[in-house]
């Protein structure tokens, strides 16, 4: 990061501000030469005038606005709807790179699913002291109500969105596992639809693996987990409703799957059976793809003040009459403190080394590591273990002294709740911004489906930190996204 900033030598003015330094650049080698998979895109960019690119950007933006692909900003009291910023230029991943990502993800999700089953049953891995028992029990997302409950087909995490980053040496690494209610798949699909409209020629030239089957794959995954036969299964998507920031995604996925979108008020539980209220009376529900957090799903079992859930749902679930996807209590395995143990978890259950590396993680719960973290707050990224969406996070090198003091106090008062990682220089990809092509930091969230077998969508959501220099890609923190192309070659 301390290296002097270099700008690539090109005759074209629109790359004038393109930054090349210690971060891995998706498009250019360190010498400023386009990497082979990006060569055609680069050539095309030089052919198009900035005005032509601008027109395409406007077409894309307008399409998102009209489709209502917007999100709500919580920190804004008026609950403003905004378009999720879309970057025009695709992020490209080769077949060879993807093959390894895919193997790594299958391995990881298989191990994490075994881990969840184990800790909610015998707890062998805890007895063997591979993962500290305190760490698991004290996790904000551990649900004792799940102990000794057998989930259908042993699948806890039907849908996962794992956050990957690319290290300066070009390897992909796992930044975070999202095993609760990962979102963003609809943006991945919407980005692709728009991309095909604004760059049709380039798209067909490249040989990109399709994503359109996501709706069907998700529907099949859910039906495979049904307590009754797939034929007679009624599957619904449970949404908190129209005020939720991900409501667009809920409606989009329900449409893609051809299943009803329900809210808590549409469901009733009677004698441990879940019904939905229809014009023809009550109709039985077998599988619920729930997009509501554990805490809010049933006011009788969890948070009493929840207005979003369904009273009695957890008991119905316990009785086995209905499947919840994902299962309750999966968040314990994506706790940022448990994350540090995932390579050990993989070795324990599968006897293999992790294919995708972790980022080095310091546990503030450990006295020695905490000392190191507190002494290096200006260099590290500190995260609250149970949070997501870029909330509750300190990026040391970009922080003020006052922010660091706040986090020092937070860490000292509740050390278990914080971890720290070195500030990783995420890779950068080209983005079209104000008539220029500039490099911005990106990550990648592939989606993994686990029903009868594990299915991984080729690509995923590439999130972009649109602010220059920013390392935070979350949409709530000014991030955008771009289409991700996994090539056939």
Partner 1 sequence: MNAMLSRVADSLYWMSRYLERADHVARQFDVHLTIVTEQAVDVARRRRRRLITCLVNEDEYAAAEASDYDLAYLLTFDEDNPSSLVNCIASARENAHQVREQINSQMWEQINQMYLTMRSQSMADLWSGQPHNFYHWINQEIYRFQGITDSRIMRDQGWHFVQIGRYLERASETADSLNVDFRELYSSALETDAVDQQTYLEWVGLLRGCAAYEAYSKVYTANVQPRHIVEFLLLSPIFPYSVRFGINRIQSSLQFVGEETETPKSARIFRLSGRQRAMLDYAQVDEIIDGGLGSYLLNIQNQCAQIHQLIYETYIAYSIEDKLSTR
Q: Which of 53, 254, 424, 466 binds partner 1 (CB under 8 A)?
A: 254
Q: How far is the CB of 268 from partner 1 (least distance, A)?
A: 6
Options 15-23, 205-213, 272-280, 406-414: segment touching partner 1 (CB under 8 A) = 272-280
Determine the 3-state secondary structure of 334 from DSSP. Answer: helix
Residue placing its CB nearer to partner 1 in the complex, 67 or 361: 67
Which region, judged by CB under 8 A, interacts with partner 1, from 11-19, 59-67, 133-141, 330-338? Answer: 59-67
| C-alpha–C-alpha distance, residues 87 and 201, integer Å | 18
Please say which residue, 66 or 304, places its beta carbon nearer to partner 1: 66
Min. distance of Cβ 152 from partner 1 in angstroms? Answer: 24
What residues numbered 368-387 form the site for partner 1, per CB under 8 A?
A: none
What beta strand segments (E) does 180-310 contain? Answer: 235-238, 261-262, 267-270, 273-278, 281-284, 287-290
Is the distance from CB of 120 to CB of 329 less than 8 angstroms?
Answer: yes
What's the angle, vertex CA 488, arms to CA 487 and CA 489, rounded to 5?
90
Cα dist. 458→208, 292, 467, 477 in Å?
A: 9, 26, 27, 26
Shortest gap between Cβ of 185 and partner 1 (angstroms)?
15
Q: Which is nearer to partner 1, 292 or 385 (CB)?
A: 292
Q: Does 10 bind partner 1 (CB under 8 A)?
A: no
- Give the residue, chosen from 22, 30, 68, 79, that forms a contact with partner 1 under the rule CB under 8 A: 68
Which region, judged by CB under 8 A, interacts with partner 1, from 212-220, 274-282, 310-318, 353-361? 274-282
CB of residue 250 to partner 1, shortest distance in Å: 8
Distance CA 374, CA 372 (A): 6
- 278 near partner 1, rule: CB under 8 A: yes
| Dihedral sign for Cα atoms in the order 292, 294, 295, 298 | positive
CB of 65 to partner 1, least distance (A): 7
472 within 8 A of 479, measured Cβ to Cβ = yes
Residues in Cβ contact with 52 at an 8 Å cutoff, skipping those fewer than 6 apart? none
Q: Confirm or reject binding of residue 197 to partner 1 (CB under 8 A).
A: no
- β-pairing, 267-270 vs 235-238, is unpaired
Which of residues 276 and 437 has its CB atom nearest to partner 1 in the complex?
Answer: 276
**Phi, psi (5° rounding) for residue 153?**
60, 15
Question: For residues 201 and 45, what is the distance between their CA atoms, to the nearest angstrom?
Answer: 13
Choosing from 268, 311, 359, 393, the residue that interacts with partner 1 (CB under 8 A) is 268
List the x/- string, 407-446, binding to partner 1 by CB under 8 A.
Answer: ----------------------------------------
User: Which one-letter DSSP state was computed for residue 268?
Assistant: E
Query: How many chain residues bind partner 1 (CB under 8 A)?
Result: 28
Is 78 a binder of partner 1 (CB under 8 A)? no
| Smallest distance, partner 1 to C-beta of residue 238, A | 12
CA neighbor of 177 nearest in space, from 360, 55, 330, 70:
330
Toward partner 1, which CB reaches closer, 266 or 298?
266
Under the criterion CB under 8 A, does residue 307 sit at the interface with partner 1?
no
Contacts of 477 (CB under 8 A, 6+ apart): 390, 470
Contact flag: residue 272 with partner 1 (CB under 8 A): no
Residue from 443, 326, 294, 339 nearest 111 by CA: 339
> Smallest gap, in angstroms, from Cβ of residue 241 to partner 1?
8
| Among residues 21, 61, 97, 263, the one that binds partner 1 under rule CB under 8 A | 263
Select 225 or 261, whichever has its Cβ closest to partner 1.
261
Instruction: Please spell the DSSP secondary structure of 37-81, one letter per residue.
Output: GGHHHHHHHHHS-HHHHHHHHHHHHHHHHHHT-EEE-TTSTT--E
Residue 432, beta-bridge partner list: 437
424: which 2 tokens?
């990783």
Q: Toward partner 1, which CB reaches closer, 248 or 317?
A: 248
Among 6, 147, 265, 468, binds partner 1 (CB under 8 A): 265
Round to whole Å and give the CA distance between 478 and 398: 15
Single residue of 44, 56, 283, 347 touching partner 1 by CB under 8 A:
283
Question: Shortest approach of partner 1 to residue 239 CB, angstroms?
Answer: 9
- Of the residues 255, 307, 320, 412, which one makes contact with partner 1 according to CB under 8 A: 255
Out of 136, 185, 238, 261, point to the residue binding partner 1 (CB under 8 A): 261
Closest to partner 1 by CB, 254 vs 292, is 254
Q: Please tell me whether residue 285 binds partner 1 under the rule CB under 8 A.
A: no
Burial group, residue 13, by CB count within 10 angstroms (0-12, 13-18, 19+): exposed
Hey, which residues between 214 and 253 contact partner 1 (CB under 8 A)? Answer: 242, 247-248, 250-252
Residue 117 Cα distances to 3, 308, 342, 403, angstroms: 46, 27, 15, 39
Q: Kindly give the residue spans of alpha helices, DSSP state H, lying in 376-480.
A: 401-413
Instruction: Catalog residues that contact partner 1 under the rule CB under 8 A.
Output: 65-68, 242, 247-248, 250-252, 254-255, 260-263, 265-266, 268, 270, 276-283
């Amino acid at each position: 990061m301390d290296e002097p900033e270099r700008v690539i030598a090109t005759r074209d003015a629109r790359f004038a501000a393109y930054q090349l330094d210690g971060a891995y650049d998706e498009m250019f080698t360190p010498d400023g030469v386009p990497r082979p998979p990006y060569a055609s895109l680069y050539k095309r960019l030089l052919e198009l005038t900035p005005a032509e690119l601008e027109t395409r950007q406007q077409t894309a933006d307008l399409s998102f606005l009209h489709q209502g692909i917007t999100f709500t900003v919580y920190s804004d009291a008026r609950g403003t709807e905004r378009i999720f910023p879309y970057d025009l230029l695709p992020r490209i991943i080769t077949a060879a790179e993807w093959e390894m990502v895919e193997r790594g993800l299958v391995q990881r999700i298989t191990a994490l699913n075994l881990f969840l089953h184990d800790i909610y049953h015998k707890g062998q891995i805890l007895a063997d002291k591979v993962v500290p028992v305190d760490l698991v029990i004290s996790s904000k997302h551990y649900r004792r109500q799940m102990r000794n409950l057998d989930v259908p087909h042993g699948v806890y995490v039907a849908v996962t969105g794992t956050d990957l980053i690319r290290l300066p040496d070009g390897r992909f690494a796992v930044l975070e596992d999202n095993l609760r209610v990962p979102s963003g798949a609809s943006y991945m699909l919407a980005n692709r639809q728009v991309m095909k409209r604004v760059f049709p020629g380039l798209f067909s030239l490249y040989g990109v693996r399709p994503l359109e089957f996501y709706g069907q794959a998700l529907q099949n995954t859910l039906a495979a987990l049904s307590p009754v036969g797939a034929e007679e299964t009624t599957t619904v998507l449970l949404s908190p409703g129209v005020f939720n920031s991900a409501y667009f995604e809920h409606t989009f996925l329900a449409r893609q799957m051809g299943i009803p979108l329900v809210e808590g008020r549409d469901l009733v539980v009677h004698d441990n059976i879940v019904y939905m209220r229809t014009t023809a009376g009550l109709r039985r529900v077998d599988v619920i793809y729930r997009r509501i957090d554990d805490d809010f799903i049933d006011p009788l079992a969890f948070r009493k003040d929840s207005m979003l859930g369904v009273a009695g749902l957890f008991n119905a679930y316990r009785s086995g009459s209905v499947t919840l996807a994902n299962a309750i209590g999966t968040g314990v395995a994506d706790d940022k403190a448990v994350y540090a143990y995932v390579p050990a978890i993989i070795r324990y259950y599968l006897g293999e080394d992790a294919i995708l590396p972790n980022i080095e993680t310091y546990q503030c719960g450990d006295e020695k590591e905490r000392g190191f973290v507190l002494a290096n707050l200006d260099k590290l990224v500190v995260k609250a273990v149970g949070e997501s969406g870029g909330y509750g996070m300190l990026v040391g090198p970009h922080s003020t002294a006052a922010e660091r003091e706040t986090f020092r106090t937070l860490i000292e008062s509740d050390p278990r709740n914080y971890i720290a990682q070195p500030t990783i220089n995420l890779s950068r990809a080209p983005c079209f911004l104000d008539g220029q092509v500039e490099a911005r930091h990106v990550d990648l969230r592939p989606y993994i489906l686990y029903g009868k077998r594990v299915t991984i969508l080729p690509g995923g959501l590439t999130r972009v930190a649109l602010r220059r220099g920013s390392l935070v890609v979350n949409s709530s923190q000014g991030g955008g996204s771009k289409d991700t192309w996994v090539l056939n070659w």
